[in-house]
Chains A and B, each alone.
Chain A
């Protein structure tokens, strides 16, 4: 039996659920077994602004205790990321019934850097990600790929499967 293909799949949460089936069709057909890791990156920028950043606002207003706010935000991050990954894990398990494993990983930082670093740390064979769906995403052109996908394409140490544009929903083709 050949070595499993280790795929790092970036999940922002905004992906089209049909993305999962599409990846399954591209990757799994007759190939080696796959080992999937779903990665969700918590944007540290927003987290820091909601916590530390506001404490630096202009007026000497009595700020709520930083420790309590930080704890509350961390809990919210963790719960949100866990809930998000649980939903996507179920979708991937359904589409990849023969997968060796479907693991979930949460990282904090700039999403694009988290994805590239995780690919290095986890020894992934390839990164799979979806360009941000949106009104302009299905139109071809330089703006159809957001900055996260752009950065990953430019900096990834391994091959990248970028799903851009709308995915056909049919199961068999």
Chain B
């Protein structure tokens, strides 16, 4: 499937990849990430780094991953439409009893659960605005809570395969079982969330008053009772069924897609008429498929093998060192460009390094930790954050980046170290 090209072509393949990533980050003329990646994949194939049959085979070969993202984005969309997020935010409001510190703890815990089960992006994109509404009802300053939501979305995303696209992509490409990594990554995620919470409580110790300025009436919060019962029951059953099927070794993609279809049926049953494909992450599917082809091109041009030699070569025989180095490399490259492409490249580099099974296992865990937690350095990924500040200036809002970056600079290394410490303890054979 992979044709061998002379290594002299490596700079061309690397160039195609880097230009594509540049377009993904900068998004000139509202070009979407998916379109940019697709164009890049086509150029990579047209240049002969990946034969056409290989490209098609690549997409079909990762059917499990693609079905997984179809099911995951679909399920998150049903959850959003059902009002589940409002119910969860209402729960945090009630748990907090009007105490700002307790509200912070509740937001972090609920955000962590949502991120682990419905993905980091669902937590950040859907839960954050809902939490914002809650916080303003208490008359509190929203910034600490908004940042807590964004940070916990990534900090908790290690926990389960559903938490972060990176988890599934890395395990899929390294031939590791995504479910098999849970016994290590779940405790690591708990450590990183606890570390995050400690950081937030310290950083905002002055900003969180003892009592909230406003005391909204109890009826101000959405309760789970307002959600359609059958849908709520279906969500609970779906989580349990998915967990059981994962443990039993059923491929995750078809299971999650089936969960989505069943939830759609129940949604229809309770009288919600929606276009079933609403909220599906087509762009995520196209992006992931295109990235796979792009990285295969890099691989056949020998780029990832060279990277592997530089990064992993010196430490290849010690699984603990491999885990630490791959976490660091994944975290750095996630900030240099974007964490999904970074995870793809790292996974392929690990594969081409020809490590022992123990080292490959350690590298998978390290890469997932780095690519999941690294982007927290700045809430939108470093380059995207810079662009965001430009956008804000254009709108006449002078915003200092300091309030994010000072927290990100603290949270990112602390959460990575916490997760890594646990993973080294549990995941490296002695």
Contact = CB atoms under 8 A, between A and B. Distances in A.
Nearest to B133: A76
A69 B132 CA distance: 11
A47 B122 CA distance: 18
Contacts of B119: 61
B125 A46 contact: no
A57 B121 contact: yes
A134 B146 contact: no
Interface residues of B, number: 61
Interface stretch (B2-10, B395-403, B410-418): B395-403
Nearest to B334: A58
A60 B34 contact: yes
Nearest to A16: B209
A113 B260 CA distance: 48
Given A80-B136, A84-B214, A61 B399 contact: no
Contact of B124 (A57, A69, A76): A57
Contacts of A146: 206
Nearest to B280: A62
B205 interface: yes
B338 A134 contact: no
A60 B287 contact: yes
Interface in B12-64: 32-34
Interface stretch (A25-33, A48-56, A93-101, A154-162): A48-56
Interface residues of A, number: 46
Interface in A82-131: 83-84, 87, 109-110, 113
A14 B403 CA distance: 19
A69 B340 contact: no
A110 B393 CA distance: 13
B80 interface: yes
A40 to B, nearest CB: 9
A141 interface: no
Contact of B141 (A46, A50, A73, A110): A46
Which of A12, A76, A110, A132 counts the most chain B CB atoms within 10 A? Answer: A76
A50 B280 contact: no
A75 to B, nearest CB: 8
A76 B142 CA distance: 11
A134 B284 contact: no
**Interface of B: prevailing SS:** helix
Nearest to A12: B141
A64 to B, nearest CB: 6
A44 B205 contact: no
A50 B129 contact: yes
B403 A45 contact: yes
A13 B213 contact: yes
B399 A132 contact: no
B156 to A, nearest CB: 15
Interface in B213-236: 213-214, 216
B73 A54 contact: no
A92 B205 CA distance: 28
B324 interface: no
Closest 10 A/B residue pairs (Cβ): A80-B136, A61-B121, A13-B213, A46-B143, A134-B206, A46-B142, A60-B33, A76-B133, A58-B381, A60-B283
22 contacts: A46-B142, A48-B397, A49-B147, A54-B129, A55-B125, A56-B385, A56-B387, A57-B379, A59-B340, A60-B34, A60-B283, A61-B73, A61-B119, A62-B73, A69-B129, A72-B129, A73-B133, A84-B213, A87-B213, A110-B399, A134-B206, A136-B206
Interface of B: 32-34, 73, 77, 80, 119-122, 124-126, 128-129, 132-133, 136-137, 139-143, 146-147, 150, 165, 205-207, 209, 213-214, 216, 279-284, 287, 334, 338-340, 375, 379-381, 384-385, 387-388, 391-392, 397-399, 403-404
Interface of A: 12-14, 43-64, 69, 72-73, 76-77, 79-81, 83-84, 87, 109-110, 113, 132-137, 146
